[in-house]
């Protein structure tokens, strides 16, 4: 337990002493801010539904950029060998890195709370869906972080890790739109269940359904477990 905290602290610190953190956060805020506010005043509705509906697709390429270095960089420069030979279990290493990525996502999201505050000033904002939305955003961010971590453990090349992570997150986000045209009706429910954006939209509407929470938790678990298998296999 203690070791998870130490790994977490080290990884979290590393994010903010390198320029990556500031670049990623800026890019995220510019993109999401532009996409959200460019149509905000046309819709004449004081809510953040549009903002939350943009999150899965934005996260799908921002979060792999956050997680790409977690294992790839270590494998590449060789510090991975130092890390593995310290008295740490794989589980502690993976969870420490995972929580650092989730904390980073939370920090990245926090400036967008200003959107909620400023929206509430110009209209009657319903806070329920906003709180639900942020809760869902953290769950979504956590499961994409786990996927990104898995991608990072697969390769020593950060660019490859980014592309693999983005491909998986994009597929999970767009699954429902893509496959709708090709598959018979009976399977739609099944693919809908696999789609991250489908589950996220439920939460973003303010509906806290246990099924959606379980989806995100199990996606995180499966990705982290797969990461464990990958680094076990490296021995």
Residues that bind other proteins (CB under 8 A): 2-3, 6, 9-10, 13-14, 17-18, 74, 77-79, 81-82, 84-89, 235
Per-residue tokens: 95: 């969870």
Please say which residue, 44 or 235, places its beta carbon nearer to other proteins.
Answer: 235
Closer of 18 and 118 to other proteins (Cβ): 18
Q: Which of 137, 139, 164, 138 is CA-nearest to residue 150?
A: 164
How does DSSP classify residue 209? -
Q: How far is the CB of 100 from other proteins (least distance, A)?
A: 13
Q: Which CB sits closer to other proteins, 220 or 227?
A: 227
Q: Are 95 and 227 in contact (CB under 8 A)?
A: no
Q: For other proteins, which is the closer residue by CB, 143 or 155?
A: 155
The DSSP result for 85-98, as a single string, is HSS--HHHHHHHHH
DSSP 8-state assignment for residue 112 = G
Q: Which two tokens stand for residue 31?
A: 């993109």
For the bound state, the minimum distance from the C-beta of residue 207 to other proteins, rounded and expressed in Å, comes to: 42
Structural tokens at position 175: 């699954």
Cβ proximity to other proteins, 79 vs 218, nearer residue: 79
Our CB check for other proteins shows the closer of 39 and 85 to be 85
Task: Decide whether 78 or 123 has the Cβ nearer to other proteins.
Answer: 78
Q: Is 125 left (phi over 0), alpha (psi -120 to 50) or beta?
A: beta
CB of 78 to other proteins, least distance (A): 3
Q: Which residue has the tokens 């639900």?
A: 132
Question: What's the CA angle centered on 18, arms 13 and 22, to 5 degrees?
Answer: 95
Copy the structure tokens of residue 4.
Answer: 């998870």
DSSP code of residue 47: S
* CB 5 to other proteins: min, Å: 8
Residue 107 Cβ vs other proteins, minimum distance, rounded to whole Å: 18
Torsion over CA: 37, 108, 123, 43 (sign)? positive
Contact at 8 Å (CB) between 145 and 63?
Answer: yes
Q: How far is the CB of 37 from other proteins (least distance, A)?
A: 34
* Residue 92 C-beta: closest distance to other proteins, Å: 9
């Amino acid at each position: 337990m203690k070791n998870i905290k130490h790994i977490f602290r080290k990884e979290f610190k590393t994010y903010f002493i390198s320029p990556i953190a500031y670049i990623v956060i800026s890019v995220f805020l510019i993109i999401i801010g532009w996409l959200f506010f460019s149509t905000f005043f046309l819709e004449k509705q004081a809510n953040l539904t549009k903002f939350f509906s943009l999150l899965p697709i934005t996260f799908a390429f921002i979060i792999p950029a956050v997680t790409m270095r977690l294992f790839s960089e270590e494998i590449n420069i060789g510090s991975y060998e130092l890390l593995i030979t310290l008295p740490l279990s794989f589980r502690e290493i993976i969870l420490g890195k995972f929580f650092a990525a989730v904390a980073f996502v939370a920090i990245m999201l926090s400036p967008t709370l200003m959107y909620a505050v400023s929206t509430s000033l110009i209209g009657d904002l319903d806070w329920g869906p906003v709180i639900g939305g942020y809760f869902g955003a953290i769950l979504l961010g956590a499961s994409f972080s786990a996927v990104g971590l898995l991608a990072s453990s697969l390769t020593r090349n950060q660019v490859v890790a980014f592309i693999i992570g983005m491909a998986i997150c994009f597929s999970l986000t767009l699954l429902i739109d893509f496959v709708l045209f090709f598959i018979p009706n009976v399977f739609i429910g099944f693919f809908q269940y696999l789609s991250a954006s489908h589950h996220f939209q439920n939460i973003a509407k303010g509906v806290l359904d246990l099924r959606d929470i379980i989806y995100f938790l199990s996606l995180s678990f499966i990705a982290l477990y797969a990461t464990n298998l990958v680094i076990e296999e490296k021995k």
